Chains A and B, each alone.
Chain A
Amino acid sequence: MIIRERLIPYLFLLPAIGLLFVFNLFPTIATLNESLHANSLVRGGRIFIGLENFQRILNDPIFWKSLRVTVIFSLLVNPIQVLLALGLAVLANQRVRGIAFFRSIYLLPVAVSINVTTIVWGLMLDSQSGIVNGVLALLGIPAQPFLTAPSHALWSIIILATWKGVPLWTLFFLAGLQGISEPVIEAAKIDGANRWQIFTRVTLPLLRGVMIFVLVADTVANFLMFAPILLLTQGGPQLSTNLIMYETYRRGFVYGDLGASAAMLWVMLLIVFAVIGLEFFLLRERQSS
């Protein structure tokens, strides 16, 4: 009876933990194994090849180019999205009539999937007859090759990712802003702080936890950007939008090279962990100084 009683929590946990283990953790570890093996043409079946897959991708200029594009993309899109989201949260936190109506509108891109976003913006950014070029023409700006020039394509991805992403991160900042108690702000006001001082010295430090979360989550989400590349550019023109997630997919599922794909995935995992660690470290540092 007592033993049965003791087993009960494990029985409650078993289905969920079992599923998480089998479908999330186990395959990820197994990939490391996959990346150490290759299909043998001579003997058939699998043979152990050690770090050969890693060596292969590390000697591959396309892989390096893809990493470079991903880093540039990250350095552009993450600060843009986080700053815009913070600004939009401050705006949506203003106490004016009808603010709830505006907040509902700002929520719309959160509900629209990235694929829908990509399809709609892809047509809007059309080089010949897109609506964005139509609006630019009104301002006297010549039509831009948004998706067809290496200099423009990555920015087009950034634009559509930002339209979709900023409202999501705004929700977190808004929740954070609403969690700041009124007396704290009032006290700062009585001490004679102006609004900018209140924002930078009171509000921002109180948003630190939210800021860390948004930075990390946004960085990871953008690092895994995939659908817009598959649907709009297939990595082009001239590999200018060949983000790492798309390159990993292409190796595995277009060229059938799952070994290289698995090796890339491990490189990506390491990068994700490094970025998360770095962002935590940087935000801690600033806090203590």
Chain B
Amino acid sequence: MTEQVMTEQTKSITIQAASRLGSKRRRQELLETTLIYILLVFVAAIVLVPLLWAIAASFTPNNLVFRYAYPFSWRAFLPVEFTLDAYRNLFARNFERSMINTLILGVTVVVVGGVVNAMAGFAFARFNFVGKRFLFIFTILVTFLIPIDLTAIPRFILVNSLGWINTWQALIVPGLASSMVIFLFRQFFEEIPQDLIDAARVDGASWARLFMAVVLPLSTPVMITASLLLFLSQWDSFFWPLLVAPRPELRVIQVEISNNVGQFQTLWNELLAGSMLAAIVPILLMLPFQRYYVSAITSSGLKE
């Protein structure tokens, strides 16, 4: 009898203690979650403030761009007296030419470079041949150890001696081969089942036919990743086009907006409008392809 009472008491005490402990833990968890959200929002603000201000200012008359920046007010993130003047003036100066140029450049490099790099990746993945290791190390050496901008001046001297300055080929040809993209393809092609290739070979398909008709159609995911990588590297390229294609007819987008910094220093809303046009294309590509985009970027580092 007494024993039973005791146990009842102990039980209730234990339950109380447990619930007290539980609520303490829950409170701690709540505090933690709140802290995490505060940090998340704080970082998001740091990321977004420049972009939101730039967007708002690009829709603002030039003389009012800094109206709410200094002294600062929240209205800095909304256009003051909304206007499309900045964009209209940009296009009146033929800004779209630089966008079209960069699109042509990017698409050409994606199509031609895609095939060239896929072929090399296929050779590394599916063939055994004399010098394979040597050639593989050579490609690693070329991009992973020597950064592309560091070799720009020697490349300029070469392209200059070829008489290619201010030509399309100077922009396109050196950007076609990319070790990083070759690695991406190699990785992917290694996973293709051998049976599939053997079957096609037995049917008498040549290697070229097999590559075009069997391998490439299977490769959509890696092609999206590789295309993003190649296109975005062209969309963002600045140093190389600045050196080899300064002629206005060939100007690419990063050179165009940077040129405006010197030439139209005080037309702040137009500088920002051009910048936003340069930023919107990669952002629009990134949003639907986020997974591919992230894997395109991280693939360079983590696959060892």
**Given known A-B contacts A19-B116, A104-B287, A227-B258, A269 and B150 have beta carbons under 8 A apart:** yes
How many chain B residues have a CB neighbour from A under 8 Å? 90
8 Å CB contacts to B: which residues of A41-83?
Answer: none
Task: Report if B278 contacts A (CB, 8 A).
Answer: yes
**Given known A-B contacts A131-B53, A220-B147, A167 and B47 have beta carbons under 8 A apart:** yes
Task: Report if A13 contacts B (CB, 8 A).
Answer: yes
**B interface majority secondary structure:** helix
Task: Report if B290 contacts A (CB, 8 A).
Answer: yes
| The residue from B49, B117, B154, B261 contacting A262, defined by CB atoms under 8 A apart | B154
Shortest Cβ distance from residue B31 to the other chain A in the assembled complex, whole angstroms: 13
A119 touches B272 (CB 8 A): yes
Chain A residues whose CB sits within 8 angstroms of the CB of B158 once the complex forms: 22-23, 26-27, 30
For the complex, give the distance between the alpha carbons of A117 and B290 in Å.
21
| The residue from A8, A30, A273 contacting B127, defined by CB atoms under 8 A apart | A8
Total number of A-B contacts with CB less than 8 angstroms? Answer: 262
Across the interface, name the chain B residue whose C-beta is closest to A108.
B47
| The residue from B71, B174, B301 contacting A217, defined by CB atoms under 8 A apart | B301
8 Å CB contacts to A: which residues of B17-67?
Answer: 33, 36-37, 39-40, 43-44, 46-51, 53-54, 57, 65-66
A111 touches B282 (CB 8 A): yes
Chain B residues whose CB sits within 8 angstroms of the CB of A16 once the complex forms: 116-117, 119-120, 139, 176-177, 182
What are 7 A-B pairs at a CB distance below 8 A?
A28-B151, A113-B279, A116-B257, A131-B69, A138-B72, A265-B150, A272-B147
Interface of B toward A, CB cutoff 8 Å: 33, 36-37, 39-40, 43-44, 46-51, 53-54, 57, 65-66, 68-72, 76, 116-117, 119-120, 122-124, 127, 129, 132, 135, 138-139, 141-143, 145-151, 153-155, 157-158, 173-174, 176-177, 179, 182, 207, 211, 232, 235-236, 238-239, 243, 254, 257-258, 261, 268, 271-272, 275-276, 278-279, 282-283, 285-287, 290, 293-294, 297-298, 301-302, 304
Closest A-B pairs by Cβ, 6 of them: A134-B72, A27-B154, A16-B120, A9-B127, A19-B177, A12-B123
